């Protein structure tokens, strides 16, 4: 009798430690950067170009301007936690009135039908139990909070409070309907996902992203002065800019100015992209081939500023002004 009583007490205690007990044994720690496979397309599939960094965990993950195109299985039926899916973008009201999403999105399935999901202090909980996978804890380009602040510079520390707020992200509890899933981008700060539009109906899923197309090609668009002379038109819409310059850009508001930046780096070089400062030294060192900043007013291109290394070793700025005139001047020694 004592033996059975002891077992009952142990089970009772275990049921009470919900926040400390993972819902599943961890497949990988959240610091682990998952490898996206290269696959041979077969069966009923779709090849997708994707340039958003909403899934970037430090290796331009799922970015087809760096890697080859994505292979999407259109016969995908059995939805599993952890799957990366391609789906129709739901309609929702964003806090950012200038948010301009593609008709389709890519995110990871984190919550399943009938589950209750909550985010507390940057961690995902399912049915009040902590989910313990690499994608269930907030990161910044794959870095944990400790890693991020260990690598932060004096310039980035000026934004320390906002970053701390990001790493302690909360979301109130949500019951996922039986016909839906909850999706998150791996890079929460750059992602529009179920935190914004709620649970995603399963019938809006187009397919599962299997990986990069093996031996496939990637976008090789290089923006040059000559390209700008022909294409940098003042007054074109954001959709027009994406159609000309591609979807691989960084965007944000700086001092109430709506700015996009395109760049090209050498050998997947990674640097801290900023819409407020130019990477002068990286451009001089030829680690960054160029940076193009486009200013928008009322969602239309207002000015283009293109920074590149000249034959004289200096960084030059090539500007397409609001009146469509062009100026070019050396901006570094």
**pLDDT digits 0-9 by tens, 7-27:** 333 333 333 334 444 555 433
pLDDT reported for residue 1: 38
Last residue of a domain, one of 213, 241, 270: 213
Give the mean pLDDT of 124-150. Answer: 92
Same-domain check for residues 84 and 204 = yes
Same-domain check for residues 263 and 183 = no
Residue 14 lies in a domain: no
Last residue of a domain, one of 191, 213, 235: 213
pLDDT reported for residue 279: 94
Residue 95 reports pLDDT greater than 80:
no
pLDDT reported for residue 157: 57
pLDDT reported for residue 20: 44
For 37-67, what is each residue's pLDDT tens digit?
Answer: 999 999 999 998 887 789 988 888 998 877 8
Give me the percent of the chain exceeding a pLDDT of 90: 55
Distance separating alpha carbons of residues 320 and 228, to the nearest angstrom: 8
Residue 76 lies in a domain: yes
Q: Tell me whether residue 311 is exposed, middle or buried, using C-beta atoms within 10 angstroms of its C-beta: 0 to 12, 13 to 18, 19 or more.
A: exposed
Same-domain check for residues 285 and 312 = yes
Question: Does the global pTM surpass 0.85?
Answer: no
Residue 83 lies in a domain: yes
Distance separating alpha carbons of residues 127 and 235, to the nearest angstrom: 50
pLDDT reported for residue 21: 47
SS3 content of the chain, % helix, strand, coil (to 5): 20, 30, 50
What residues make up the domain containing 261?
225-330
Same-domain check for residues 275 and 189 = no
The pairing of strands 200-201 and 205-213 is unpaired
Distance separating alpha carbons of residues 280 and 28, to the nearest angstrom: 38
Same-domain check for residues 73 and 110 = yes
CA-based nearest residue to 127, from 260, 252, 275, 21: 21
Q: What is the count of structural domains for the chain?
A: 2
Residue 278 lies in a domain: yes
Assigned token pair, 280: 């002068």
Residue 250 lies in a domain: yes
Cα-flanking dihedrals φ and ψ of residue 271, to 5°?
A: -145, 165
């Amino acid at each position: 009798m004592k033996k059975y009583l002891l077992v009952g007490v142990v089970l009772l205690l275990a049921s009470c430690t919900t926040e400390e007990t993972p819902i599943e044994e961890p497949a990988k720690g959240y610091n682990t950067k998952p490898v996206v496979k290269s696959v041979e397309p077969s069966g009923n599939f779709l090849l997708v170009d994707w340039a958003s960094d909403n899934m970037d965990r430090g290796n331009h993950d799922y970015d087809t301007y760096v890697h080859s195109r994505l292979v999407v299985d259109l016969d995908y039926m059995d939805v599993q936690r952890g799957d990366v899916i391609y789906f129709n973008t739901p309609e929702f009201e964003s806090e950012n009135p200038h948010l301009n999403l593609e008709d389709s999105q890519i995110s990871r399935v984190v919550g399943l039908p009938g589950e209750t999901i909550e985010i507390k202090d940057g961690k995902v909980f399912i049915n009040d139990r902590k989910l313990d996978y690499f994608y269930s804890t907030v990161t910044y380009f794959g870095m944990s909070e400790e890693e991020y602040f260990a690598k932060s510079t004096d310039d980035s520390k000026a934004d320390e409070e906002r970053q701390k707020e990001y790493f302690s992200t909360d979301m109130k509890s949500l019951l996922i309907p039986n016909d839906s899933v909850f999706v998150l981008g791996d890079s929460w700060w750059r992602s529009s996902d179920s935190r914004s539009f709620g649970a995603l109906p399963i019938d809006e899923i187009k397919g599962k992203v299997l990986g990069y197309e093996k031996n496939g090609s990637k976008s090789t668009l290089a923006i040059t002065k000559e390209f700008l002379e022909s294409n940098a038109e003042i007054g074109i819409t954001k959709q027009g800019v994406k159609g000309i310059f591609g979807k691989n850009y960084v965007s944000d508001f700086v001092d109430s100015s709506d700015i996009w930046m395109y760049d090209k780096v050498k050998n997947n070089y990674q640097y801290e992209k900023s819409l407020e400062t130019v990477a002068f030294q990286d451009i001089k060192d030829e680690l960054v081939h160029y940076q193009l900043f486009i200013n928008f007013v009322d969602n239309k291109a207002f000015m283009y500023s293109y920074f590149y290394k000249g034959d004289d070793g200096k960084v030059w700025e090539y500007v397409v002004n609001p009146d469509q005139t062009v100026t070019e001047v050396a901006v570094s020694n």
